[in-house]
A = this chain, B = another copy of it.
Amino acid sequence: MSETRNVDNFRATPLPAYQRIAAALRDRITSGELAGGERLPTEQELTEEWGVARQTVRNGIAVLVSEGLVVARRPLGHFVRQRENMLYRPQGESRDQPASPEMDRFCQQITEEGRKPSQTIDVSLIHAPPDIAQRLQVDPGTVVVARRRVRYINGEPVNINDSHFPFHLVKDSEIMSPADVARGTNQALADLGYPQDRAIDEIFTRMPTPEQIRRLGLGPGTPVAVHYVTGYIADGTPVRCTVNVLPSDQHVIVFERKFERTWS
């Protein structure tokens, strides 16, 4: 096989073969020559085309898989991944921010064409994990109410949405029932005497934990965005901490900001 290797230009150290294979395939994908959903050459074909061992080809493909560009569908082959973005609009939850014409434009671009949403809800009392405890300003291990949702579209899980409330605030309320709260839990909280005045949004991006991979049925090479929303009432007491986990290949997070005092 060493003959075919001479084709390289003589650089200090040429890129290893598997990276050259990955780069060549990546180019064909990003250039559009291989479109979303299309099948890549089989490992066998690539082995012959490049004159390397099958394992080397597999290493190259593994690079693309970990970049989220390619998925395997055994035993059919490897396929270029389809990306299809879906809007995720944190501000939509508060129903009081009238969308501006520009916002509408953005929303229209990614329309939901007859997708069927559904969800599962599970309410339980848990000891607050550190991240939640810190945001709700309680001691870690304090009992809080966790309202865990997984949202589906056309049967596919797309979104984890876990809301946490201090137990004494929502005890015996509607929020404790594992059913949809039609008017929204924020309205329900307000009805209990805790109207939220403001919220802080934090967004992290990470590779998912195995637990998140399981709950969202994720493929490899898919990072997730973790979005914390901590809601406060007027006196600064936090009353809600929501954790949203979004597979990044399905969501765009969109905010709109108005500048109260304009630059003048």
Residues in chain A within 8 A of chain B (CB atoms): 1-9, 23, 26, 62, 66-68, 71-73, 79, 81-82, 84-85, 90-91, 94, 96-97, 100-103, 106, 156, 186-187, 189-190, 195-207, 210, 213-214, 217-221, 223-225, 230, 232, 234, 236, 238, 248, 252-264
B71 touches A258 (CB 8 A): no
Q: A196-B263, A207-B223 are in contact. List 7 more A-B contacts (CB 8 A).
A: A7-B217, A26-B210, A66-B207, A68-B206, A100-B236, A199-B256, A206-B223
A187 shortest CB reach to chain B, Å? 5
Determine the chain B residues whose CB is within 8 A of the CB of A8 once the complex forms: 214
B190 touches A207 (CB 8 A): no
A213 shortest CB reach to chain B, Å? 7
B206 touches A248 (CB 8 A): yes
A196 with B262, Cβ < 8 A, contacts A91-B257, A203-B252, A213-B6 known: yes
A248 touches B220 (CB 8 A): no
Determine the chain B residues whose CB is within 8 A of the CB of A1 once the complex forms: 82, 84, 156
Copies, count? 2
A9 shortest CB reach to chain B, Å? 8
Residue of B nearest to A249 (CB): B206
In Å, the complex CA distance between A1 and B80 comes to 11
A5 with B219, Cβ < 8 A, contacts A252-B203, A259-B96 known: yes
Residue of B nearest to A4 (CB): B219
10 A-B pairs with least C-beta separation:
A4-B219, A190-B263, A223-B223, A205-B248, A5-B217, A201-B255, A203-B253, A205-B205, A96-B261, A67-B207
Residue of B nearest to A67 (CB): B207
B254 touches A200 (CB 8 A): yes
B232 touches A156 (CB 8 A): no
In Å, the complex CA distance between A234 and B156 comes to 40
